[in-house]
């Protein structure tokens, strides 16, 4: 059954020891791999470990240039440990021993041992990058336990926003380029602006750590990223950013330091900030690829399965459950999504959804099998209704072109250039989450791209 995708939960508290499980229940032993900047311990495959190590080293090499330039201060290099379990249940065994309050999270940073702990499935590169930045800032502030988060007016938006800012990346061939625009965060921000749910700048500046967990987590992480992005890319605030950083390092109250660096007219700053956030949602004309034909670093595996790339295609091998591969894009009001799908066995499909605060992210599921196409509406993880069914022939082991359009509140599904069915879209929302899934099946996907069908961008909200 479909469940919510794993969220980027990044709580950063020291662990609490617990009794170790019996030896027979322990996960397979971890192997060590020393990279240029890390000691990576994992029970995942050697090929995965080396690929991950290369990307983590690339991240630190780029960060060692970008972070000192932004803060105008030399940053001491660190060599943290990274533990990557293959599966979630293995991660949970360790979390029960060292951080029982974080058993159901995507990962955590243990300040006592300078160790990032996570698991392979469900977690994107951004989680690793985010936690590495936290480890570095723990050294900078001499506070690996994040006690500063409990201080009155400590700018948690700075810690979390900086980690999100440098944790954001884009695929660059086989490598990554960091500090890129974060499409997931932009989608949350555009939706919040459009619905009037964006938290005010004044509230964000003094928000306690509780806002960065639970139901408010996604919105606060997005706004923290958006505030850092605004300040470092807007003159004259970019030049004042190091001043703010130096002030909080010398224990100046976070709100006071912000006003001293950027100005005390928070209403004016709030308006400028919102205009900047809205401008990030501009969508280039024409077809924009979601899959680069090389790797799936910008995608996130959800609920397991094997997802790899071969011959410029995504290759999915499912297990007995639903397995998902998802990624975010800039938010679309009207769009077309195209993909070529090769069904090898079982059922596969495509996902249409959105990154909206407090709402179930998957909206529509298009099931594809050899002789059946089904449109389903997902209202929650357990409430899923079948809306339309058709029986076109989809030959196995042959590439089949699909085109899905959502325009004027109508969903159209075409297979082999033939309209299979049309259904009214009951969601007055943008679309920013796209993906593929398997149900006891195997399939390949290529040519995945999205195109805006809105001739005129919507006006900025008042």
CB atoms within 10 A of CB 23: 6
Residue 369: alpha-carbon gap to chain centroid: 29
Query: In sequence order, which ranges of 290-394 are alpha helices (DSSP H)?
Result: none
| Residues listed for the chain | 462
> What's residue 106's pLDDT?
83
- Concatenating the DSSP letter of every residue in 118-151 gives EESTT--HHHHHHHHHHHHHHHHTT-TT-GGGGS
Please list, in sequence order, all residues whose beta carbon lies within 8 angstroms of the beta carbon of residue 312, skipping any fewer than 6 positions away: 293, 294, 446
> What's residue 237's pLDDT?
98
> What's residue 13's pLDDT?
30
CATH of domain 23-279: 1.10.390
Please list, in sequence order, all residues whose beta carbon lies within 8 angstroms of the beta carbon of residue 430, skipping any fewer than 6 positions away: 187, 190, 191, 194, 331, 332, 333, 354, 356
For the chain, domain boundaries: 23-279, 288-452
> What's residue 73's pLDDT?
95
CB atoms within 10 A of CB 328: 24
Q: Which residues sit opposite 338 in a β-bridge?
A: 403, 449
Tens of pLDDT, residue by residue, the chain (462 residues): 333 333 333 333 323 223 334 444 555 689 999 999 999 999 999 999 999 999 999 999 999 999 999 999 999 888 889 999 988 899 999 999 988 888 888 888 888 888 999 998 766 889 899 999 999 999 999 998 899 999 989 999 999 999 999 999 998 877 899 999 999 999 999 999 999 999 999 999 999 999 998 889 999 999 999 999 999 999 999 999 999 999 999 999 999 999 999 999 999 999 999 999 999 999 999 999 999 999 999 999 888 889 999 999 999 999 888 999 999 999 999 999 999 999 999 999 999 999 998 889 999 999 999 889 999 999 988 899 999 999 987 887 899 999 999 999 999 999 999 999 999 999 888 999 999 999 999 999 999 999 999 877 677 776
Q: How far apart are CA 273 and CA 258, in angstroms?
A: 14
Contact between 390 and 371 (Cβ < 8 Å):
no
Q: What is the pTM of this model?
A: 0.90
CATH of domain 288-452: 2.60.120.560
> What's residue 28's pLDDT?
67
Q: How far apart are CA 377 and CA 426, in angstroms?
A: 9
CA torsion 84-90-95-98 (nearest 10°) is: -80
């Amino acid at each position: 059954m479909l469940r919510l995708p794993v969220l980027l939960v990044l709580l950063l508290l020291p662990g609490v020891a617990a009794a170790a499980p019996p030896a027979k229940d322990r996960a397979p032993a971890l192997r060590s791999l020393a990279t240029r900047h890390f000691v990576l311990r994992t029970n995942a495959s050697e090929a995965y470990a080396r690929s991950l190590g290369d990307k983590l080293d690339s991240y630190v090499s780029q960060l060692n240039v970008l972070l000192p330039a932004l803060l105008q201060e030399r940053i001491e290099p660190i060599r943290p440990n990274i533990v990557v379990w293959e599966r979630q249940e293995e991660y949970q065994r360790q979390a029960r021993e060292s951080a029982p309050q974080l058993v159901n999270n995507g990962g955590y940073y243990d300040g006592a041992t300078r160790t990032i702990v996570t698991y392979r499935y469900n977690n994107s590169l951004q989680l690793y990058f985010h936690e590495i930045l936290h480890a570095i800032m723990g050294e900078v502030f001499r506070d690996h336990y994040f006690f500063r988060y409990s201080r009155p007016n400590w700018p948690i938006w700075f810690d979390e926003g900086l980690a999100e800012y440098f944790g954001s990346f884009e695929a660059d061939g086989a490598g990554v380029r960091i500090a890129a625009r974060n499409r997931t965060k932009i989608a949350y921000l555009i939706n919040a602006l459009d619905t009037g749910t964006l938290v005010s700048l004044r509230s964000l500046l003094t928000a306690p750590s509780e806002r960065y967990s639970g139901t408010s987590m996604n919105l606060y992480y997005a706004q923290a990223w958006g505030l850092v992005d605004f300040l470092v890319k807007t003159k004259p605030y970019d030049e004042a950013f190091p001043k703010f950083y130096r002030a909080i390092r010398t224990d100046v109250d976070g709100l006071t330091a912000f006003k001293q660096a950027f100005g005390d007219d928070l209403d004016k700053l709030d308006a400028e900030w919102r205009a900047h956030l809205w401008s990030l949602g501009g969508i280039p004309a024409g077809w924009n690829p979601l899959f680069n034909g090389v790797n799936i670093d910008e995608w996130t595996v959800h609920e397991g399965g094997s997802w790899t790339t071969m011959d410029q295609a995504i290759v999915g091998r499912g297990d007995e459950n639903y397995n998902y591969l998802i990624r975010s894009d800039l938010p679309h009001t009207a769009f077309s999504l195209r993909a070529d799908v090769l069904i090898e066995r079982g059922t596969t499909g495509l996902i249409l959804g959105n990154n909206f605060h407090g709402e179930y992210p998957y909206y529509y599921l298009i099931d594809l099998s050899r002789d059946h196409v089904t449109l389903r509406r997902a209202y929650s993880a357990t409430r899923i209704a079948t809306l339309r069914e058709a029986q076109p022939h989809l030959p196995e082991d042959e590439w089949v072109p699909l085109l899905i359009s959502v325009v004027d509140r109508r969903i159209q599904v075409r297979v082999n250039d033939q309209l299979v069915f049309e259904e009214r879209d009951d969601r007055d929302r943008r679309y920013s989450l796209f993906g593929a899934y398997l149900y006891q099946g195997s399939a390949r996907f290529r040519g995945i791209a999205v195109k805006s069908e809105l001739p005129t961008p919507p006006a900025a909200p008042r």
